Amino acid sequence: MNFLENFKNKNLIIAHRGFRDFYVENSLDALINSSKNSDFIELDIQFTKDYTAIIHHDETLERMSNIHMYQNYKDLKPWYIKDFNYKEIENLDIKGTNISTLEEFLEIAKKKDIYFNLEIKQMSKDTNKIEAIDIIINLIEKYDCSKYVLFSSFNHEYLKLINKYNKKYSIAVLDENIKREKLLSYLKDLNAQTYNINKELVDETLIRKLKKEGIETLVYTINDKKIIDKLFKKGVKGVFTDYPYE
């Protein structure tokens, strides 16, 4: 299965954390509404202490929640997600909403045909990576969402674990400011369908080379329309952005 075959548009706009300049990032409201004005959305996964997959970018709750108001948690600052069971944090105020779980989102994604890039954030050293990846895959299968998801991570070991299940899952390799030797073979070994990079790594010759091998380039996170247009002219397939492209 190739994730990009789901789209007819030549160039793709991806809602970064659900167009976070318009909505509360990674909230269900953001993910649902931004899917209406983008080709697909991007969301981030963190794991709680009891292995609940929640949709949250940061490894801590400090920036996005009101956890600082809870005196019984004051000694846990900066409030790493890995230190809390889901029940302890499910009712926190997240900029006017609540923490969402991956399971909650998948149930909606299946019903509404929402395509998404699921980025697996760096796990703590105490987290069993195999168990965590297994939880994600089981949820994807439970809600029959394998065609809707493009998996990505800066930790490529997670992508290798996903590939061990079988080759049906779509994989995006995330890199930032890393120029790899033998990049093509590296991406092929990871079963990559897309190479997700920052704009500093954009190389028109490389983009063409990868495209010939069936690997498209996606670039994050660009909020300038002129730059987005230039990237598309260079052959970039898709761009992650914080607000709708016009």
Confidence band, pLDDT 50/70/90 cuts, at residue 1? confident
pLDDT band at 168 (very low <50, low <70, confident <90, very high): confident
List the one residue out of 232, 188, 239, 194 whose CA is nearest residue 216.
Answer: 194
Q: What is the pLDDT of residues 143-155, one digit of tens each?
A: 999 999 999 999 9
> What's the mean pLDDT in 37-46?
98
Structure confidence by residue, pLDDT tens digits, 183-225: 999 999 999 999 999 999 999 999 999 999 999 999 999 999 9
Domains of the chain from N-terminus onward:
3-59+100-241 (3.20.20.190)
| pLDDT over 90 at 53, yes or no | yes
pLDDT value at 229 more than 80: yes
User: Mean pLDDT for the chain?
Assistant: 97
The Cα–Cα gap between 151 and 159 comes to 8
pLDDT the model gives residue 32: 98
Output phi, psi for 77, to 5 deg.
Answer: -55, 135
Question: Which pLDDT band, with edges at 50, 70 and 90, does 107 fall under?
Answer: very high
Give the mean model confidence (pLDDT) for residues 132-158.
98
pLDDT of 57: 98
Residue bearing tokens 């080759």? 167
Q: Which residues contact 156 (CB under 8 A, 6 or more apart)?
A: 173, 190
Q: Which of 158, 243, 233 is nearest to 202 (CA)?
A: 233
Which of 223, 242, 45, 15 is CA-nearest to residue 140?
Answer: 45
pLDDT category, 166, cuts 50, 70, 90? confident
Instruction: Give the ranges where the chain is alpha helix by DSSP (H).
Output: 28-34, 86-89, 102-112, 129-142, 156-165, 183-189, 204-212, 225-233
Contacts 24+ apart (CB under 8 A), 150-154: 150/3, 150/40, 150/115, 150/116, 150/117, 150/118, 150/193, 150/194, 151/117, 151/118, 151/120, 152/117, 152/118, 152/119, 152/120, 152/194, 152/196, 153/119, 153/120, 153/121, 154/122
Alpha carbon distance 48, 94 (integer Å): 16
Quote the pTM value: 0.97
Cα separation of 123 and 109, whole Å?
24
